[in-house]
Amino acid sequence: MTVPPDMESEARELREFLRYHSYRYHVLDSPEISDGEYDRALARLVELEGEYPGLVTADSPTQRVGAAPSPEFEPVLHEQPMLSLDDAFDVAQVRQWHARVLRFLEREPDSDIELVVEPKVDGLAVSILYRDGALDRAATRGDGYTGENITPNARTIRSIPLRIPVEGARTAPSVCEVRGEVYLSLQAFERLNQERAGREESLFANPRNAAAGSVRQLDSTITARRPLSFLGYGLGRLEGATVTSQWEALQLLRDLGIPVSGDVRRFASLGEALSYCRDWMARRDSLAYEADGMVLKVNDFELQERLGVVGRAPRWAVAFKFAPREEMTRLLDIGVNVGRTGVVTPYAVLEPVNIGGVIVRQATLHNEDYISERDIRIGDTVVVARAGDVIPRVVAPVVSRRTGGEQPFVMPTQCPSCGQGLIRAEDEAATYCTNSACPAQLARHIEYFASRGAMDIEGLGERVSQQLVDAGLVRDVAHLYHLSQDQLLGLEGFAEKRAEGLLAGIEDSKARPFWRVLMGLGIRRVGGVVAQTLVEHFRSLDRLAAATEEEIEAVHGMGPHTAAAVTQWFAQPSNQAVVDRLRRVGVTLEQESVGAAEAGALAGRTFVITGRLAHLTRAQVRERILGAGGKVTETVSRSTDYLVAGEDPGSKLERAAKLEVTVIGEDELLRLLGE
C-alpha cells in the first residue's frame, strides 16, 4: 500500500515530537507536556502505523513494547573488553591507589592529577552500540569478553535513546559504543515487588537482582513492563568523533541525549575528590537508587592509556566502596517473638556490634528452617547484615570459628506467652500460636492497629499496648474506644495529662479513613496497599464482608490467597463482633462518608518530592502525604500544588518556578500535615 505523503510527514513529526518529549521525561526528568498529551500523540502514531505498516521505523517510539521471544541469547564479542574495577574500602586504600598511579606515571609522590568521580550504581553493566545514530546492538557485560545480545530488551528501556542525538546541533559519531548501567530505582523496585506480592509471585531480593533478571529475559515484552533506567558512564568504540578525557566522554554522552548521573564531578586534586566522596557517601540512605560506592577515574585518556590494565581492572580507576553493611559477632542466645498473626519468629540475641554506624543487638532469624538450613547454633560467631531501614538479619555462621561448645536451636513447642501448643503446617516454614486470645498476639495487634501506617494513635506503642493487655483492659481493638481516664491512671507511668492525651488520640482515630481501619483489623495479607485497593472497589465494610472469594479475586491486583484470607476473617463470629463494636463507637467503615481522599489534611492536593530532605526519607514523606489524603506524582506539571524540595533539588525546582508551583520545605510540609 502506498503511503500518502501527508501521512508520512505526520508520522515523522509525531516520531520526533514523541522522541523529544520522552527524552525530556526520562532523561532530563523535566517534561514539557502532560502525560495525557504524550499518550494522545503516541496513540495517533500507533493508529497511523496500523493503517500504513510501511510507516513503521525501527526507531519509532511505538517499538518499545518488546519483540517476539527468542530461544536463546546470541553471544556478542566485546571488541574492547568490559573491565571490572579494583576495590578500595577506606580512604587509606584510595590514597594507596593514587600513590601507585603517580609512581607509575613517574610523578612526584604528592602531586595532583585531574580526577573524575562518579556514583557506582548497582545494576547490570551493558554496552549499547549506535551506528550512524541508530541503536544497532545492545549486550550485557557477560565475562567481560563475551556478553549476551539483549538488543530487543534494551529497546524497551525508555531512557535509552533509539536514535542519537536526541536534540541539538551535534551530529552522531558514525560508531558510538555507550557503556553504562541498567538499574531499577528504589521506588520502581518497591513498586515492582508490591505488584508481585499482590499477584502472589516470588519477590526480588534487591534492585540489582531485579534489574538483572528483567534485562536477561528471552521475552522482551516482560522487560518492557519493568520500570528500568539507564545511566551512561563510559565509551567503548568511537568513530567519527574525538574525545580526550573521561569528562569529555561524559559531556559527549549528555550531548547525544544519553542519561548521565547528575552527581559526576571533576576535581583537580585527590583531596577535593575525597571530600566530595565523603559528602556524597553520607547520603547513602537517601539516594533514589542502590549504589555500592563511588568510582574515581584518572581524567586524561592519554594518562589512562599509559597506566593500562592489570588483570581485568584498569590501573586508572578504583571503586571506593561504601562501608560494609555486614559484620561478625557472637550469637549469645536465640529467643522467640509472637507476632500479631500468631507467627512465632526466632530472633538472635547478639553481642552488640557496630554495623555501618548503628549498634545492633538483635537480628531476625526468620523461622525454624532458616536456622536449620544454615546450621546456625547458639554460641556461634555469625555474620550479621543490615541494609538501610531493614531489620538486621543473621546471614550465616562462621563455621571455622567453632569451639565445640555451640548448641543447636530447638524451636519451643509451647507459646512463650500463653503456653498453648504451637503448630506448624506441613507446607509452611512458619510456626503458629493459634490461640486467638493469646496476650502476646493481642498486644502486637493493638500496637499494629495504632501504628502510624494504620490508625496512627499517638502514645500507643509496644509498651502501652502490652500494659493494656496485661491489665485486662482490652481484649480486642474495639475495647480501646471504651477506655476511661480512671483505668489508664491505674497503669504504671500514667498521670492525668498522659491519660488525657491517649484518650484524645483514640477519639481522633475514629475519623481515620476506612482503608486505615481495614488495614488495622490485621487480616492476613491485607497491608496498606491491599486495603486501599479493596476500599477503592468495595467502598464499605458491609459490601466487603458480603463479597465472595471470587468477587475479591476479580479485583485487579488481588490473588486467591488474599481473597481466601479476607473471606475467612469475616466468617469468624468473633471478628464480626469486633466490627459491630467498632461500628457502634463510630469508627469509619465506609469510603463515601469520610473517604481516604476527603478525610486528610492534604485531601485533593498533589505533591512532587525532590532533593535531599533533612529528617525524613522520601518514602516517609510520601507515606505521610498519602496518609493525609494527598497525591504524590513524579513530575511537576500545572496540576501540581506543591513541590517539596530538599537540598540539591535539580531541574524540578526550575520547572516549578516556571509553572509557578508553590515550593515548600520539609518544615512547611509538616505544618500542613498538622504535625
Which residues lie near ligand IVH (CB under 6 A)? 83-85, 118, 120-121, 125, 141, 181, 233-234, 295, 314, 317, 319
At its nearest, how many Å lie between ligand IVH and the CB of residue 178? 12
Q: Is residue 237 within 8 Å of 129, Cβ to Cβ?
A: yes
Question: Cα torsion for 239, 240, 246, 249, to the nearest 10°?
Answer: -110
Closest contact distance (angstroms) between CB of 277 and ligand IVH is: 13
Reading the block at residue 628, the C-alpha cell is 493525609
* Least Cβ distance, residue 13 to ligand IVH (angstroms): 37
Looking only at the bridges linking them, the beta strands covering 317-321 and 291-298 are antiparallel
**Cα–Cα nearest to 294, from 321, 315, 274:** 321
Residue 312 or 581 having the CB closest to ligand IVH: 312
As a whole number of angstroms, the distance between CA 276 and CA 296 comes to 11
Main-chain phi, psi angles of 345, to 5 degrees: -115, 125
| 12 and 615 Cβ atoms separated by less than 8 Å | no
Comparison of 232 and 595: residue with beta carbon closer to ligand IVH: 232
The set of residues, in sequence order, having a beta carbon less than 8 Å from that of 423 and lying 6+ positions away, is: 431, 432, 434
The count of other CB atoms within 10 Å of the CB of residue 546 is 12
Choice between 188 and 336, CB closer to ligand IVH: 188
Q: Burial code of 103-138, b = ≥16 C-beta within 10 A, e = fewer? A: eebeeeeeeebbbbbbbbbbbbbbbbbbeebebebb
d(CA 576, CA 566): 12
**Which residue, 84 or 187, has its beta carbon nearer to ligand IVH?**
84
- Measured CA to CA, the distance from residue 43 to residue 36 in angstroms comes to 10
In the bound state with ligand IVH, the residue whose beta carbon lies nearer, of 284 and 583, is 284
Of 85 and 224, nearer to ligand IVH (C-beta) is: 85
487-509: b or e for each residue (b if 16 or more CB lie within 10 Å)? bbeebeebeeeebeebbebbeeb
CA distances for 96 relative to 90, 102, 106, 270, 619, angstroms: 10, 10, 15, 11, 38
For residue 360, what are the contacts with CB-CB under 8 A and spacing of at least 6? 327, 329, 350, 352, 353, 354, 384, 386, 392
Name, in order, each residue with C-beta under 8 angstroms of 294's C-beta and a sequence gap of 6 or more: 117, 118, 119, 120, 277, 280, 281, 319, 320
Residue number closest to ligand IVH, CB atom: 125
Q: How far is the CB of 229 from ligand IVH (least distance, A)?
A: 13
Smallest gap from residue 445 Cβ to ligand IVH (A) = 44
Q: Which is nearer to ligand IVH, 256 or 455 (CB)?
A: 256
* Cell triple for 77: 564479542
C-beta of 120 vs 525, nearer to ligand IVH: 120
By C-beta, is 118 or 476 nearer to ligand IVH? 118
The full DSSP string for 66-120 is -----SSPPEEE-SS------EE-SHHHHHHHHHHHHHHTT--TT----EEEEEE
Q: How deeply is 3 buried, as exposed, middle or buried, from its count of CB atoms within 10 A (0-12, 13-18, 19+)?
A: middle
Q: Residue 424: beta bridge partners?
A: 431
Q: What is the DSSP string of 363-428?
A: EE--SHHHHHHHT-EET-EEEEE--TTSPPEEEEE-GGG--S--EE----SB-TTT-PBPEE-TT-
Contact in structure between 571 and 580 (CB atoms under 8 Å): no
Q: Which of 120, 297, 321, 652 is flagged as catalytic?
A: 120
- Mapped onto helix, strand or coil, the DSSP state of residue 189 is helix
Q: Kindly state the smallest distance separating residue 167's Cβ from ligand IVH, in Å.
A: 24
- Residue from 661, 659, 623 nearest 644 by CA: 661
Question: How many whole angstroms separate alpha carbon 612 and alpha carbon 141?
Answer: 32
Q: State in angstroms the smallest separation of the CB of 258 from ligand IVH.
A: 13
Whether 80 and 127 have beta carbons less than 8 Å apart is answered as no
Supply the minimum distance, in Å, between the C-beta of residue 307 and ligand IVH. 11
162 near 18, Cβ under 8 Å? no
Cell numbers that stand for 461 in this block? 506503642
Backbone region of residue 674 per phi and psi (left: phi > 0; alpha: psi in -120 to 50; beta: other values): left
Least distance (Å) from ligand IVH to the CB of residue 233? 4
Give the nearer residue to ligand IVH in terms of CB position, either 125 or 526.
Answer: 125
Q: How far apart are CA 509 and CA 456, in angstroms?
A: 7
The rounded distance, in Å, linking the Cα atoms of 631 and 618 is: 14
CB of 170 to ligand IVH, least distance (A): 22
Question: Please, are residues 79 and 254 in contact by the beta-carbon 8 Å criterion?
Answer: no
Tell me whether residue 184 or residue 317 sits nearer to ligand IVH (CB atom): 317
120 is catalytic: yes
Q: How would you class 391 by CB atoms within 10 Å of its CB: exposed for 0-12, middle for 13-18, buried for 19 or more?
A: exposed
- Cα 403 to Cα 332: distance, rounded to the nearest angstrom: 14
Shortest distance (Å) from residue 252 CB to ligand IVH: 15
In the complex, least distance from residue 120 CB atom to ligand IVH, rounded to whole angstroms? 4
CB 319 to ligand IVH: min, Å: 6
Tell me the catalytic residues.
Answer: 120
